[in-house]
Structure 1
Amino acid sequence: MSRHIPENNRTKKVKRMESKTVVKNGIGFGSVLAITISWSVNHSILWAIIHGCFSWLYVIYYAITR
């Protein structure tokens, strides 16, 4: 026996799940990008870790200053 879920509730659940996935993937990609840029510029693991923590802030800083 399946429960009938109104269309409006199903749409809300799908949107909520999609937004969580986008945020999760966006943060991961930003960190990887920051680490890659940092490593190519500094060749330092410590700086790569620090810049990975700041992720998109470092990527934007790098784009503005280059």
Structure 2
Amino acid sequence: ISLEEYYHLCGYNLATRRRKEHQEYGLDEFKYISELPTLKTANLTLFLLAVSPHLQSYQRI
């Protein structure tokens, strides 16, 4: 089984295509979400600073 066949069997190609369609449909929202600060940090202060914009825009995302 080739890597391409494996991805097809796992649904990776379909998921990738659907994700791209979803991103194109909601381009403004996708751009906004991608610009939010990351929550991946071990520093509590940085985490709290990053959480604030996420919570403030919860309805939008």
TM range (shorter): 0.3 to 0.5
TM-score by length of 2: 0.35
* Larger RCO (CA within 8 A; separation ≥ 6): 1
Q: Which has the larger radius of gyration?
A: 1
